[in-house]
Amino acid sequence: MSANRAYVNGESHYSKGQKDASRHLLTYLYTKDQNQWNLYLEELKVPQGDGIARITLLKAGDNAAARKGLLTGLNNEEDLDDLIWLFVNFKEVPFLAKAIHEWEQGDKLINQLFIIGQQIDSKIKCDQLTDADQQKFLQQISNISDKLTINERNFSNTLGEGTRTIKDLLIIINIIFILIIICSVSLYYSIMVKRLIVSKKEIEIKNENLILVNHELDRFVYSASHDLRSPITSLKGLIQITQLEDDVDQIKDYLNLMHQSLCKQDQFISDIIDYSKNKRIQTIIEPVNLKELFDEAIAQLMHIENANKIIFTKELLLDQIQSDRLRLRIIISNLLSNAIKYADNSKQEMLISIKTYFDGGFHKIEISDNGIGIKEEFRDHIFEMYFGTNKNKGSGLGLYIVKEAVENIKGNISVSSKSNIGSKFIVTIPNAYGA
């Protein structure tokens, strides 16, 4: 009941945010006052925050992203547990499912309002806004506001009807459960206390692990979906432009851009496949020929721009080792790929050096280059998921996957780099696996 009331209260903030955002956007449309644009964006965050919470709760349940979204939607922090509990446990109940559907429809309209706002802002900043545009945008905003009013009213009415329906049932159920609880507590109190003490620590550890895993999964899914759609969107735009172009040279330029988009998506899909294999495939220790892995990786990476201009040198004092072939292939391929992508075209010679040797009881693989290097402020973050100094050259997954692959074979990786001078990565692998 308290959760229902919290949702109704949240709807009022959602409605107010939407209406205030529409009002500021209309004012901006006719006055071109930048303050009105900023106020529009601020007010629109309220329904957008609720929309993020709804999507996150449907996909992943209770987590930090959902709670942050609800707080952005101006829901009271003390109501968060009730709001999430009701959504997660009873979203399939007819009256709540209907309310969530109305919520979803409202979010779609909010997204349309956001897109219209971007169009208005673009025309104003480019000084291309005409009287006809103003009338068109005014009509669109009014239509969206009218539809949102209906959605918001249906949402509140649905929750109200559900509240009245379950009120009597809750009273009966509460009485029954109280009687059951009293009897159960009397009978099992001593047993439950012992079990709780034993399992408490285990549950806490498992919950901490689950929170970390869910957070990583949420971030992965969000970023992956964005990175998969981005090249497709780029291709659509380029195809539309090409269809209108008659200049052969210009068409070739557009085709080259299309090829770059496809290569970027192909690399990202390859990284996701490596990420998946590294996560789910069991480690298999077997004899591995390092020379074969390096030759195979270099041959597969020669399609990268400027790869054929790079001078590769090899000093393989160590050829065959006992380790996991899949993980070593992932490590070598990603390190060489990065060295090629971030080569320095301004240098007279672009060099990549490959060394393998045995040192201090460990196998070592060393890959160094004279490329553009890594800036000092980025060095501590390069192994984080989706961190990239240049998103146009990589997915941001490569070094993250490398680090996980190295850890899976009980090794470690170190890096030394200077901006505009080059980088050196050293992978250390145990001589006896598990030692």
Say which CATH number the domain at 421 has: 3.30.565.10
Q: Per DSSP, what are the bridge partners of residue 288? A: 321
pLDDT value, residue 301: 86
Long-range own/partner contacts, residues 140-148 (CB < 8 A, 24 or more apart): 140/112, 140/116, 141/22, 141/25, 141/26, 141/29, 141/113, 141/116, 144/22, 144/109, 144/112, 144/113, 144/116, 145/18, 145/19, 145/22, 147/109, 148/15, 148/18, 148/106, 148/109, 148/110
CA 315 distance to own-chain centroid: 40
pLDDT value, residue 416: 92
Number of domains the chain is built from: 2
Is residue 370 very low, low, confident or very high in pLDDT (cuts 50, 70, 90)? Answer: very high
Provide the 8-state DSSP code for 8.
Answer: H
Provide CB contacts within 8 A for 282, sequence distance 6+. Answer: none
pLDDT value, residue 388: 59
Q: What is the pLDDT averaged over residues 89-110?
A: 86
Q: Do 169 and 315 fall into the same domain? A: no
Q: Do 310 and 406 fall into the same domain? A: yes
What tokens appear for 33 in the block? 């006052």
Distance CA 218, CA 62 (A): 11
Distance CA 44, CA 109 (A): 12
Q: Do 36 and 140 fall into the same domain? A: yes
CA 291 distance to own-chain centroid: 36
* Range from 7-16, 164-173, 424-433 carrying the lowest mean pLDDT: 164-173
- Position 256 in a domain: no
- Position 197 in a domain: yes
Distance CA 113, CA 34 (A): 18
Q: Do 188 and 95 fall into the same domain? A: yes
Q: Which domain holds residue 13?
A: 2-201
What tokens appear for 225 in the block? 């979906």
Provide the 8-state DSSP code for 323.
Answer: E
Q: What is the pLDDT averaged over residues 8-25?
A: 88
pLDDT value, residue 2: 80
Q: Do 23 and 160 fall into the same domain? A: yes
Q: What is the pLDDT averaged over residues 21-35?
A: 91
pLDDT value, residue 261: 66
Is residue 161 very low, low, confident or very high in pLDDT (cuts 50, 70, 90)? Answer: confident
Nearest of 37, 53, 41, 38 to residue 17 by alpha carbon: 41
pLDDT digits (tens, 9 = 90+) for 333-363: 889 988 998 999 889 999 999 999 999 889 9
Cβ-count burial of 426 within 10 angstroms (0-12 exposed, 13-18 middle, 19+ buried)? Answer: middle
DSSP letters spanning 380-396: GGTTSTT--S-TTT--S
Query: Please, what is the average pLDDT of the chain?
Result: 83
Q: Do 181 and 312 fall into the same domain? A: no
Q: Per DSSP, what are the bridge partners of residue 429? A: 363
- Position 377 in a domain: yes
Is residue 36 very low, low, confident or very high in pLDDT (cuts 50, 70, 90)? Answer: very high
Q: What is the pLDDT averaged over residues 18-41?
A: 91
pLDDT value, residue 278: 63
Strand, helix or coil at 349? Answer: coil
Provide CB contacts within 8 A for 119, sequence distance 6+. Answer: 137
- Computed on alpha carbons and rounded to an integer, the radius of gyration of the chain in Å comes to 29
Distances (CA, A) of 400 to 281, 339, 383, 405, 431: 17, 15, 5, 9, 24
- Position 228 in a domain: no
Taking 80 as the threshold, does the pLDDT of residue 277 lie above it? no
More confident residue, 226 or 144: 144
Nearest of 261, 415, 410 to residue 334 by alpha carbon: 415
Strand order in 310-316's β-sheet?
310-316, 350-359, 362-369, 422-430, 412-418
Helical pair 325-341 and 290-300, crossing angle rounded to 10 deg = 40
Cβ-count burial of 377 within 10 angstroms (0-12 exposed, 13-18 middle, 19+ buried)? Answer: exposed
- Position 206 in a domain: no
Distances (CA, A) of 164 to 3, 129, 298, 302: 14, 50, 69, 68
- Position 236 in a domain: no
pLDDT value, residue 240: 80
- Position 264 in a domain: no
Taking 50 as the threshold, does the pLDDT of residue 435 lie above it? no
Q: Do 187 and 41 fall into the same domain? A: yes
Contact 86, 4 (CB under 8 A): yes
Cβ-count burial of 270 within 10 angstroms (0-12 exposed, 13-18 middle, 19+ buried)? Answer: middle
Query: Which of 201, 224, 251 delimits the end of a domain?
Result: 201
pLDDT value, residue 219: 54
Taking 70 as the threshold, does the pLDDT of residue 64 lie above it? yes
Distance CA 79, CA 67 (A): 10
Q: Do 27 and 137 fall into the same domain? A: yes
- Position 84 in a domain: yes
Nearest of 268, 297, 302 to residue 398 by alpha carbon: 268
Nearest of 103, 79, 80 to residue 91 by alpha carbon: 103
Query: Which of 146, 172, 201 delimits the end of a domain?
Result: 201
More confident residue, 64 or 397: 64
Cβ-count burial of 242 within 10 angstroms (0-12 exposed, 13-18 middle, 19+ buried)? Answer: middle
pLDDT digits (tens, 9 = 90+) for 246-258: 888 888 887 877 7
Is residue 311 very low, low, confident or very high in pLDDT (cuts 50, 70, 90)? Answer: very high
Query: Which of 201, 231, 263 delimits the end of a domain?
Result: 201
pTM value is 0.43
* Range from 37-41, 87-91, 121-125, 325-329 carrying the lowest mean pLDDT: 87-91
Taking 50 as the threshold, does the pLDDT of residue 434 lie above it? no
Q: Do 304 and 180 fall into the same domain? A: no
Distance CA 49, CA 66 (A): 9
Contact 369, 338 (CB under 8 A): no
Task: Kindly state the percentage of the chain with pLDDT values over 90.
Answer: 23
Distance CA 106, CA 213 (A): 31
CA 117 distance to own-chain centroid: 25
Q: Do 305 and 423 fall into the same domain? A: yes
Nearest of 284, 306, 321 to residue 369 by alpha carbon: 306
Q: Do 194 and 298 fall into the same domain? A: no
Q: What is the pLDDT averaged over residues 364-374?
A: 93
Is residue 390 very low, low, confident or very high in pLDDT (cuts 50, 70, 90)? Answer: low
Is residue 226 very low, low, confident or very high in pLDDT (cuts 50, 70, 90)? Answer: very low
Is residue 217 very low, low, confident or very high in pLDDT (cuts 50, 70, 90)? Answer: low
Q: Per DSSP, what are the bridge partners of residue 314? A: 354
